[in-house]
Structure 1
Amino acid sequence: MSTGVIILIIVVAILLIAGVASISMYNRFVSQRNLVAESWRQIDVELKRRYDLIPNLIETVKAFASHERQVFESVIAARSNAVNVHDAPGRTPEAQAHAEQQLSGSLGRLFALAESYPTLQSNQNFLNLQNEMTDTEDRIAAGRRFYNGNVRALNTRVESFPANIIANMFGFKKEQYFELDDIGARDSVRADFSSLTGRGPSDREQYRQPSGTGVPPQAEAQPQIEAQPQLPPQFGTSAPGQYVEAPHDRLGGAGQPPQNPPTAP
């Protein structure tokens, strides 16, 4: 076999290997791009659920605090802006994140307002809506982490060699992250009403009463005092620090009448 034939075989083998590798990298790019799109659609579902809950939430709060018009208008305007951004053609995750951040801030003020009305906090419809909103916020946060993880993997491959050659050839580009920078605005929606719903607060759902907010004293959380066991009426009560006979002592043990105390000789 001549040298020319050997060189030709080597060149063909290299081209075949490069072609297989290129096809593999291209298919992986397609898979990652589809995964990013799918994870973004999951966020969309939860955002729409959030938008649907807000009108009912506003109406419920308005029934107890109808004079707080400025707060309601702020939430309505922020929701309308978020919906418009969501439905706009060619929207970007960055623009959507900015709109959602504004909406979260408005919702935080609405829930802070609710804490000033004890009767509202005990309203079952409000509690149900608050729980659904908290669940939706959790789902959005989980979807955001999943989406950003997929975006990170795709962007890393777009910038890495030799995958970046395939990315440039076939137009695979970096995707935007979906980031909500104002953590306080998101957490304010997760106001804790565990004392009313019977659920214990989680680490991130601690009730916090801001000072100097003009909250009526009756709205403030009161310390819980553990109930003391009470004796039956027939055994009477005692003053603080005074010994009280237990029922079994007064019955003289196993159902026997009390013995007369010994008399002095």
Structure 2
Amino acid sequence: MMKYLVGIGLIAGVLYIISIFNRLVLTKNRYINAFSQIDVQLKRRYDLIPALVETAKHYMEHEKNTLERVIAARNSASQNLRHAHQNPSDPAAIAGIGAAENTLRQAISNFNVVMENYPAIKADGAMRQVMEELSTTENKIAFARQFYNDSVMEYNTYRQSFPQNLFSSLFGHTRDAALLEFEDAQEIKLPPKLGFLGE
């Protein structure tokens, strides 16, 4: 009888450890999938920025440095995203996206300030269309980032909790996933502030 109970206990223990392994895999795959949604939206934004700059060039001939900073920041952010795309589990790669995004957001914020000196841009149909697409994309990025960060928190909390923390390293889950953080003060200022949609 005792051997029978010990056998049941061992089977239950093995099944529990298997369930820990499966849950770690599930939560990791969830945040990696969530990252792929951010990846899609950021790429879309990076594809729109050259059109924004190209349209602005016709009006902002004397603001070459501002436009070049936007393109340089966009290129850096795009490169960081490609690096993170190869390994979304790498906290340094995710931190690189955050830093590059903050630089890009600051460059676009400066662009928006300079653009206020060129009222003719606001009437340009191509500029209005690009800004509307950027606004929509920015909203999608915010939702995708929230879902990603929620998924990361779920994974990290599960991985750190007892008794999962006893097994996570054995199963290859040796570090926490990184949150994707942007500095909210440097959010891109979009059409309502610029007056594109209400004019």
Aligned to 1:146: 147
Aligned to 2:128: 127
d(CA) in 2 for partners of 1:193, 1:144: 23
Normalized per residue, the structure richer in helix is: 2
Deviation of the 1:168 alpha carbon: 2.1
Q: Partner amino acid for 1:36? A: Y
- Deviation per residue, 1:27-56 (Å, 9 max, x gap): 111111111110000000011101100111
Q: Secondary structure at the match of 2:189?
A: helix
Percent of pairs with identical residues: 31
Q: Partner amino acid for 2:142? A: A
d(CA) in 1 for partners of 2:46, 2:194: 24
Per the normalisation by structure 2, the TM-score is 0.90
Q: Secondary structure at the match of 2:60?
A: coil
Aligned to 1:231: none
Kept after mapping to 1: 8 A contact 2:45/2:137 = yes
Aligned to 2:171: 170
- Deviation per residue, 1:149-190 (Å, 9 max, x gap): 01001101111111112212201131011011x21211x432
Larger radius of gyration: 1
Aligned to 1:189: 189
d(CA) in 1 for partners of 2:107, 2:198: 27
Aligned to 1:27: 22
Unaligned runs of 5+ in 1: 1-5, 200-265
Q: Is residue 8 of structure 2 the alignment partner of residue 13 of structure 1? A: yes
Aligned to 1:38: 33
Tell me: CA distance 1:102–1:120, structure 2 relative to 1, closer, same or farther (3 Å): same
Per the normalisation by structure 1, the TM-score is 0.69
Kept after mapping to 2: 8 A contact 1:148/1:178 = yes
2:82 corresponds, among 64, 87, 108, to 87
Kept after mapping to 2: 8 A contact 1:36/1:147 = yes
- Deviation per residue, 1:245-265 (Å, 9 max, x gap): xxxxxxxxxxxxxxxxxxxxx
- Deviation per residue, 1:98-121 (Å, 9 max, x gap): 101100110111122222211111
Q: Partner amino acid for 1:68? A: E
Q: Is residue 113 of structure 2 the alignment partner of residue 112 of structure 1? A: yes
Q: Which structure ranks higher in relative contact order (CA pairs < 8 Å, sequence separation ≥ 6)?
A: 2
Kept after mapping to 2: 8 A contact 1:121/1:193 = no
2:45 corresponds, among 28, 47, 50, to 50
- Runs in 1 of length 4+ with deviation above 3 angstroms? 193-196
d(CA) in 2 for partners of 1:82, 1:72: 15
1:179 corresponds, among 171, 175, 181, to 181
Q: Partner amino acid for 2:189? A: V
d(CA) in 2 for partners of 1:9, 1:194: 75
Kept after mapping to 1: 8 A contact 2:116/2:194 = no
Unaligned runs of 5+ in 2: none
Q: Partner amino acid for 2:192? A: D
Tell me: CA distance 1:142–1:131, structure 2 relative to 1, closer, same or farther (3 Å): same
d(CA) in 2 for partners of 1:49, 1:62: 21
d(CA) in 2 for partners of 1:152, 1:197: 37
d(CA) in 1 for partners of 2:195, 2:102: 28
Q: Please provide the CA RMSD for this pair.
A: 1.7
Aligned to 1:74: 69
How many residues align structurally? 192
Aligned to 1:223: none
